[in-house]
A and B are shown apart, each in its own frame.
Chain A
Amino acid sequence: MTQLEEVTLDELKHLVSNRAIMGETMMLNMGPQHPATHGVLRLLVELDGEIVINCIPDIGFLHTGIEKNMEAKTYQKAEVMTDRLDYLSTVTNNLAYCLAVEKLVDLDVPPRAQVLRVLLTELQRIASHLVWIGTHALDLAAMSMFMYTFREREVILDILELVSGQRMMTTYIRPGGVWRDVPVEFEAAVRDFLKTFPKRLDEYEALLTRNPFILDRLYGIGKLTKEKALNYGVTGPILRASGVDWDLRKKRPYMGYEEYDFDVPIRTEGDNYARYLVRVQEMRESLKIVEQALNRLPMGPVRSDNRKFVPPPRSEIGLSMEALIHHFKLWTEGFDAPKAAIYSAVEGPRGELGVYLEGDGGPKPYRIHMRTPSFENVGVIPEICKGHLVADLIAIVGSIDFVLGDIDR
């Protein structure tokens, strides 16, 4: 065995207070293997008794080089990597990537595919918020919530499995549309969920929203002002809980979001409790969108018929030589994208999920950067946890709702 090196503060001198260097305060290591850090986040915390003075997040434990890997694959094949970023909202990642590719090559999407995309991303948003509410309550010692929310999430994952064959890594949304049409059981499954879920949500709220233990841990803790939130690049429910009316679905509608009737919940307090209320309300709004999408789901093709970018359906390949050539060319060489750069963003469950995509005229992305919301959101933890107790730090980390795969990429 190698000799263990003594840990020193030499490298982090500029991040801790002078008292830590004198040895008056305690440096506590939280994570990376700690149940309350939701993955492999390491927090180095400087404590004076129980009060947090400084907090230094250490990320990168899950770095898998996804951006580098995507640069080595064709546009179609690179898509499977996006599922692995934020593994709690895979459909949203697919959508962000496909919208970027479609913008770069100027590709249209048929109406049925647009509605299906909206429907599934909203279901995914609910599933993602369910994991958040379950784990957040678990951190605050409300064990049973976790079981309840995972039961509901399983229903959504079953719907995803129904349409794509996969529970989590769906890759159902493809450039130019979706993989294939939904099966006939789809509508009944979603209607069933729409019928049961509002009641369940009321039950969760009855358990949590006015619960004095939850209020103690959330109310007034981890305040983030509007100006600080914007300066730190925080987006999504956290920004809206700080009083900024910014939702890309409303402000820059994509996939026909302007035709749906829904509200964007906004709170001005900016504390843990506001973030909790915003997310719970968002689930109700998502439910409204899902219902409207299901009611208006038009008939028609689910993939663009632009054969230069979208492979032909299987039925055509046996009949048309041209279709066979397109199929072969698209799956071996891929399609060429222009030598240009674009940035496109969608509103994910955690915030602005942006894609910077640059083509070089060939079939592979020259550079792709995923602007993942969790990265910026975790960057604000050191700012908002100062002066709170260690136990509150757990509540703050829970209320940020990040996914480490999303941060480290």
Chain B
Amino acid sequence: MDNKLEKIVQALQEKFKTQAEEFRGEAHVFAGAGQVVDVLTFLRDQQGFELLSAMTAVDYWPQVSPRFHVIYQLTSVANNLSLMVRVPVNGDQPEVPTMTGVYAAANWREREIWDMFGVRFTGHPDPRRILMPPDWEGHPLRKDYPLGYEEPQFTFNYEEIDLRKPYSKE
């Protein structure tokens, strides 16, 4: 790990009591859902991480506590550093406070995570689905959501499968 990055990780440990891991020179910091807005505001304002490069989530189903990790990949353009902040979230009521006040880039990314994983972002200004249709049920990137496929229709089973297709129900 880079010297500068190590100092930042230590500063986070002292200020917020966060845990940290290292893998292939990357720093992964674990923060609680309650403190993540403060952690990222601190990183943006005091440590120069002005760019939220990526934001995503991972589902560890069937593990329930924590079931999800919400991941913030931060980049410091000024100091040429990057840092990953991971927020474990429980499966029964997945909620994380919104980051739109800190990074505007979080707006669409949070909508995407809500759409794909069903993690709620409290206080989000525009909590609609973004990729799936508005009336879609379920959250596709969850591990308990089946991959699914379209059944190929041949002459002998054309009508049988047609009946099962959603558009042919009327």
Measured CB to CB, the residues of A under 8 A from B are 2, 11, 14-15, 59-60, 63, 65, 67-69, 72, 103-104, 106, 228, 230-233, 235, 244, 246, 251-252, 340-343, 345, 352, 354, 356, 358, 366-367, 369, 371, 375-376, 379, 383, 408-409
Contact = CB atoms under 8 A, between A and B. Distances in A.
Contact of A14 (B103, B126, B147): B126
B73 A371 contact: yes
6 contacts: A63-B131, A231-B50, A244-B77, A341-B58, A341-B71, A343-B84
Closest 8 CB pairs of A and B: A233-B105, A371-B54, A60-B131, A369-B56, A63-B131, A367-B58, A231-B104, A230-B50
Contact of B104 (A15, A63, A72, A232): A232
Given A230-B51, A366-B58, A354 B73 contact: yes
Interface in B117-150: 125-126, 128-134, 140-141, 145, 147
Interface stretch (B5-13, B20-28, B31-39, B155-163): B20-28
A342 B108 contact: no
Contacts of B125: 14
A358 B54 CA distance: 14
Contacts of A342: 23-24, 26
A356 B130 contact: no
Interface in B53-94: 53-54, 56, 58-59, 71, 73, 77, 80, 82, 84
Contacts of B26: 342-343
Contacts of A356: 54, 56, 71, 73
A59 B140 contact: no
A106 B58 CA distance: 22
A157 to B, nearest CB: 29
Contact of B23 (A15, A63, A67, A340): A340
Name the prevailing secondary structure of the A interface residues: mixed
A375 B80 CA distance: 23
Contact of A59 (B24, B126, B130): B130
A59 B104 contact: no
Given A343-B26, A354-B54, A252 B147 contact: no
A68 B145 CA distance: 10
B73 A72 contact: no
B73 A231 contact: no
B53 A345 contact: yes
B140 A15 contact: no
A376 B147 contact: no
Contacts of B103: 231, 233
B98 interface: no
Residue among B52, B71, B131, B133 having the largest count of chain A Cβ atoms under 10 Å: B131
B131 A352 contact: no
Nearest to B142: A68
Contacts of A383: 104
B107 interface: yes
B90 to A, nearest CB: 18
B131 A15 contact: no
A247 B103 CA distance: 21
A246 B103 CA distance: 18
Contacts of B24: 103-104, 106, 340, 342
Given A11-B134, A366-B58, 10 more contacts: A15-B126, A67-B141, A68-B145, A230-B50, A233-B52, A233-B105, A342-B26, A343-B84, A376-B108, A379-B107
A341 B23 contact: yes
Given A106-B24, A340-B23, A371 B53 contact: yes
Contacts of A246: 77
A2 B82 CA distance: 52
